[in-house]
Amino acid sequence: MARLIATVVATCAILGLGAGSYARTKVREEPLDPAKGAKLASRIPCDGVTNPEDQVKLVSTFSAGTVEREFRINVYEDKYCRRMDLGFKCLQEGKALWKEEWSVDNSHPQGETGFYGLASCAEPSSAGAGAVQGRSGELVSKDPPQIVLSGWYREPGPDPKRPWKQAVLKKLDSRWETYEFTDPAGGTAQIEITRR
């Protein structure tokens, strides 16, 4: 019995140290403000039966500079599985959050091309009362998802835990859907969205 208690205490101590270490090394950031970003939406209407995606091509370019910059695409989820998603059961559900689904940073200043599928319908857990049963028997939402493109920067410095800050995106006049932001040091980041 004493051996069991010692094992339990040792396990708790190791888990506590691991959690404390994670909390100390985790990079902080401001919470996402959708008003500073650009709302993205699929051009394909949600039919409530299937969930087609509008494929978009994202081409980013970053000016030279010392400030870290990145673009992110976040999707709002009012319920998500925080721990142990078994497919049929979630052991610990979380609260509402903006889930990061795509990002590109200025480690490739010459530009990087990426692709992203803009869903036409929200996930059933995020739809609440807007979810209906589809042909396959699974819940399908009739509401469009909340998708936001945002720009972020992190000022230079020796502290590895310096926070990420959200910048205000500005839509540019161009043939394509183009957004830009400027960091406090004057560096710019630009992303061009081409719809197929």
> Rounded distance, CA 138 to CA 132, Å?
8
128 vs 41, 124, 125, 132, 143, CA distance in Å?
19, 7, 6, 10, 10
Q: Which residue has the tokens 């807007």?
A: 130
- Domain for residue 23, yes or no? no
pLDDT tens string 1-43 = 667 666 655 555 565 544 444 444 455 777 899 999 999 999 9
> Rounded distance, CA 119 to CA 145, Å?
7
> Rounded distance, CA 143 to CA 66, Å?
41
Count structural domains, the chain: 1
Asked if residue 114 lies in contact with residue 58, where contact means CB atoms within 8 angstroms, the answer is: yes
- Domain for residue 15, yes or no? no
H or E stretch covering 134: none
Confidence of residue 132 (pLDDT cuts 50, 70, 90): very low
Instruction: State which residues form the domain around 137.
Output: 30-195
Q: Is the pLDDT of residue 45 over 50?
A: yes
The predicted structure's pLDDT at residue 171: 94
- Domain for residue 161, yes or no? yes
Residue 7, φ and ψ in degrees, nearest 5: -65, -45
pTM value is 0.73
The per-residue pLDDT of the chain, averaged, comes to 78
